[in-house]
C-alpha cells in the first residue's frame, strides 16, 4: 500500500452542497430525503444555517421500526409524519473544521466509530465528511 498524504485537509475531501432539513421537519421527510439522494446522514440546521442536530439512517430505522418491527407503508408513513426530527436527532454533534488535517479527523472517526462529521466554518455548515468520501478518495472515483 502507498503512503497516506498527511497534508490533505478536510476541505479537500468533504462533500459540499449538503442536503439538510430544519428542526421542524418530520421523519417522513428525512426518510424521503435519504431515499431520493441515497444518503445516510442528514444535518439539521436552523434558519441561520447553524447546525442544531444530526439524524442518521440508524436513528431513522430505530425510531421508525421500533427495533425491527416492520410496519406496512400505509401505517408507517403517517406515523413518521407525526415525529419531528427534533425528537430523534443527536443534538451534541461532533464536527470538523475545513482546514483540519484529514489524517487527524479520520483517526477520530475510526476511534469513535462516527460515520460522518459535519464540517463547520464560522458556525455554519459548509460540508460533511463521510466514510463514503474516504472510499471515493482511495478508489479514485
pLDDT by residue (tens digit) across 92-107? 999 999 999 999 999 9
Q: What is the pTM for the complete model shown?
A: 0.84
CB 133 within 8 Å of CB 14 = yes
Look at residue 18 and tell me whether its pLDDT is greater than 50. yes
CATH of 10-139, one of 3.20.20.70, 3.90.1170.50, 2.60.120.10, 3.10.580.10: 3.10.580.10
CB 50 within 8 Å of CB 110 = no
Q: pLDDT value at position 1? A: 40
Query: What are the DSSP E strand ranges found in the chain?
Result: 41-45, 51-56, 116-121, 124-130
Q: What is the pLDDT of residues 26-84, one digit of tens each?
A: 998 999 999 999 999 999 999 998 999 999 998 888 776 654 446 555 666 777 888 89
Q: Which residue has the cell 477520530?
A: 108
Amino acid at each position: 500500500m502507498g503512503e497516506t498524504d498527511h497534508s490533505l485537509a478536510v476541505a479537500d475531501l468533504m462533500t459540499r452542497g449538503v442536503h439538510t432539513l430544519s428542526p421542524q421537519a418530520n421523519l417522513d421527510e428525512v426518510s424521503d430525503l435519504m431515499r431520493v439522494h441515497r444518503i445516510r446522514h442528514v444535518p439539521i440546521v436552523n434558519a441561520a444555517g447553524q447546525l442544531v442536530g444530526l439524524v442518521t439512517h440508524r436513528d431513522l430505522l430505530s425510531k421508525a421500526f421500533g427495533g425491527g418491527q416492520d410496519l406496512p407503508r400505509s401505517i408507517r408513513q403517517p406515523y413518521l409524519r407525526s415525529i419531528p426530527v427534533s425528537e430523534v436527532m443527536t443534538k451534541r454533534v461532533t464536527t470538523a473544521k475545513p482546514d483540519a488535517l484529514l489524517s487527524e479527523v479520520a483517526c477520530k472517526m475510526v476511534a469513535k466509530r462516527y460515520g460522518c462529521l459535519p464540517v463547520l466554518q464560522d458556525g455554519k455548515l459548509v460540508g460533511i465528511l463521510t466514510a463514503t468520501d474516504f472510499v471515493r478518495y482511495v478508489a479514485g472515483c
